[in-house]
Amino acid sequence: MKRFYLNIYIAVAATALCLTGCSKILDENPRAIFTPDYFKTDAGVKGGITSLYAHLRLLYGNGYFINSNQISTDESTWGQNSDGNVKNLDFSGVGNIDPATSNTSVLWGAAFPNINTASGVIENGAAVGVADALVAEARFFRAFDYFLLVQTFGGVPLDLGAGELKFNTSTIRTSKRNTVPEVYTKAIFPDLLTAIQQLPDAGRVTGGVTKTVARLYLAKAYLTYGWWLQNPNSIPTYPEAPRTDPGGHDAAWYFQQAYDIATTAIANPASFGLQPTFYDVNLGTNDRNNEILLYADHTQSSSIYNGGDLSYSGGGFGTDNFAQWFEQFNYTNIRSSSSATAWAPVSSVQRAAVQSLGRPWTMLAPPQGIFKNTFADKTNDARFDGTFVTSYRSNWVEAALKVNNAIPDHLYNANYLPVSNGDPILTFLKTDVGGVNYSNTTFNSNVGAGVLPGRADFVIEPSAISRICYPATWKLGPYRTDNNGGLGQPNGSITRPFPVAKFSELFLIAAEAAVKGAATKAVTGSYANDGTARGLINVVRARAGKWRWDNGGNSAKVQDNSVAMMTATPTVIDINYILAERSREYFGEGYRWLDLVRTQKWIELSSSFVIAGKTNPNDWKDHTVGTFARTITPAYYLRPIPQSQLDGMDMSAEDKKAYQNPGY
């Protein structure tokens, strides 16, 4: 067979960074380029290692990357302001998936240059005297990128121009894809096994990779490969390959390995662990806590090191953190009144750089099933309150809004009742209550919210949630310390780290492996449990029952519902229940499409959804609830190879067609 190579450039590191041996943080010194000779120096190898961390910002926090891993699932559909980049991936009749415009290039373009950098570190590290533990960080990131690629595209090239897993220093414009088993057994598994052996228990620097995060990814890779070997729903793969393991192991062996490695990490957490409440995991003032095993870091101290402008960011395919913008509806349309006798609209909720608000793009909307089914328990389970913005509160004082040349003490809202600064202007109710007047013949919320007698806040029931007006994802919202009593910089790149991996996932990985038949055993240590799927999940659910703050009510709430949460866990756990738990833990963070593809549940759980606005999805007055169908075929379980990649290769049209995944 004719041999091809991928077009990979080494001179891609516009944000390449250098690393100091004594610092507890990554010391970033931007370089314009990496050259082959630079990698033969101690500084070059260490700079390459630091750039591996920097590349996370190209993916995690990028709105288009999160879109590709959220839309068309039971967690997300297109929102009012979505364009073709977003809609084409929804499969609901509003566009067609297109290799040129469907965001698949975000991952492809970020991963392969990083893989090549990692290979350069691995090949040159020992020769220049860099410690094995440092080189192991490069092994982790090479496996990390290949794992993302193989889940998304199927088999991908291991040879970038200089041989399999070799550092390429030339411009090559041909390529050959390896099979899925080859990518796992030649690249992902060996690199992660070595990383576990050589990485420290505690990170070398703040946010540095450790044994624990390597164990998490190896367990997840074993779990995913076990599903691939088993292939319960006959999903096709590409390049075509038999569902057999080169090492002779079966799916059951891989499920057992996933269980054993995940439970080992749980029993030996080093400095990692679960935060006391779900609220604490995602609270902006508590960023970089010990539950976050890996994150794409950002800072408000420098636009260069933040990866995005601090005051105004256009977003795009760069290193900005703007993912939460996709999941925030345009709350700035909400109106209150300056008069108690005639509706005189004023903007009572304005853009602010606070965790519940930020910049609204209205790109991804959650279907109603999320609120009615996934987060059905909103009383015991704190994860609904710790995930969504359910109360949009006035901030006209911070905005210095004036009425009759003065900042008012109060405005008037639903039922012409007075509201003070900081009061709820719009509330998303936990359940349908009936009797809500959405006609707004007297009071005009301007976003389709309704009125209940005696309430000053406008309200929206779960059955009225639409593509225009929906609870935003609170946990990913902005947090800054430089607002100085005002609105701050809500249009700037979000300066918070974006979470990539969490300690809690180890419990869910082990539980999933147990459901797939892994032999269980009691887990010892701080998180002792009986090791069954139910026992493992109940560790996470017990934490979910603990409250210290009520986001919706904006008040302290010390309550422990852990017993009720554990009691409500089914005796028999199945894959659908695990997927529901994963959604409750990681909603909107970019896990969902990969979870549904791994378990081959995408079609079953996402082929239809319910949302308001059936008659006119662009009319905020349209509360007509509709069921929308998606046409998802097995071929779509693999994303298309980006058209930009095909266009850049020196190959015949026939060879390019063979390189592309079937169905595109």
Is residue 359 within 8 Å of residue 491, measured between CB atoms? yes
Measured CA to CA, the distance from residue 213 to residue 293 in angstroms comes to: 6
For 153, the token pair is: 């595209």
Please tell me the predicted confidence (pLDDT) of residue 12: 35
- CB-based contact 632:391 (threshold 8 Å): no
15 pLDDT more than 80: no
Amino acid at the residue 317: F
- Report the amino acid identity of residue 641: I
Q: Is 1's pLDDT higher than 60? A: no
Residue 13 within any structural domain of the chain:
yes
**Per-residue pLDDT averaged across 446-455, rounded?**
96
566 domain residue, yes or no: no
Other beta carbons less than 10 A from residue 170's beta carbon:
12
d(CA 626, CA 255): 40
Candidates 127, 101, 133; CA nearest to 42 is: 127
Comparing 3 with 101, which gets the higher pLDDT? 101
Domain assignment of residue 477, yes or no:
no
Dump the DSSP string for 590-644: T-HHHHHHHTT-HHHHHSEEEEE-SS-TT-TT---EEEEE----GGGGSPPPPHH
Picking from 6-20, 71-85, 124-138, 499-513, which range would have the lowest pLDDT averaged per residue?
6-20
pTM for the whole structure? 0.95
Q: Report yes or no on 46 lying in a domain.
A: yes
Between helix 132-153 and helix 104-124 the angle, nearest 10°, is 150
Residue 154, domain extent? 1-179+633-664
Per-residue pLDDT at 314: 82
Structure tokens at 166: 């070799």
What is the percent of the chain where pLDDT is above 70?
95
Q: Which amino acid is at 322?
A: F
The whole-angstrom separation of Cα 470 and Cα 414 is 19
Structural domain count, the chain: 1
Q: Is residue 74 part of a domain?
A: yes
User: At 24, is the pLDDT very low, low, confident or very high (cuts 50, 70, 90)?
Assistant: low
Residue 29 confidence class, pLDDT cut points 50, 70, 90: low
% pLDDT > 90, the chain: 89
Phi/psi of residue 568, nearest 5 degrees: -75, -10
Contact call for residues 120 and 52 (beta carbons, < 8 A): no
Alpha-carbon gap, residue 333 to 360, rounded angstroms? 10
Which among 654, 661, 610, 658 is positioned nearest to 633, based on CA atoms?
661
pLDDT in tens, 599-608: 999 999 999 9
pLDDT-based confidence at 9, cuts 50/70/90? very low
For residue 34, is pLDDT > 80? no
- Which residues share a beta bridge with 336? 346
Range in 94-98, 224-228, 262-266, 453-457 the model is least confident about: 94-98
Whole-angstrom distance, CA of residue 301 vs CA of residue 321: 15
Interatomic CA distance for residues 485 and 651, integer angstroms: 59
Residue 486 lies in a domain: no
CA–CA separation, 296 vs 54, rounded Å?
A: 7
Distance CA 182, CA 162 (A): 17
If you average pLDDT over residues 99-116, what whole number do you get? 92
CATH number of domain containing 39:
1.25.40
3-state helix, strand, coil in the chain (%, to 5): 35, 10, 55
Kindly tell me if the per-residue pLDDT of 590 is higher than 60: yes
| Residue 467 belongs to a domain | no
What mean pLDDT comes out for the span 456-475?
98
Statement: residue 23 has pLDDT above 50: no
Inform me whether the pLDDT recorded for 32 exceeds 50: no
Residue 318's pLDDT is what?
A: 83
Quick one: average pLDDT of 103-125? 94
Q: Which two tokens stand for residue 402?
A: 């004036």
Does residue 317 register a pLDDT over 70?
no
Neighbours of 405 (CB within 10 A): 5
Q: What's the angle, vertex CA 438, arms to CA 435 and CA 442, rounded to 5?
A: 110
The predicted structure's pLDDT at residue 3: 34
Cβ atoms within 10 Å, residue 482: 12
Strands 418-420 and 410-412, bridge-based pairing: antiparallel
Whether 307 is covered by a domain: the verdict is no
* pLDDT tens per residue across span 260-310: 999 999 999 999 999 999 999 999 999 999 999 999 999 999 998 899 999
pLDDT at 470 over 80: yes
Token code pair at residue 357: 């608000």
Q: Can you list the positions of beta strands (E) in 458-502?
A: 458-460, 498-502
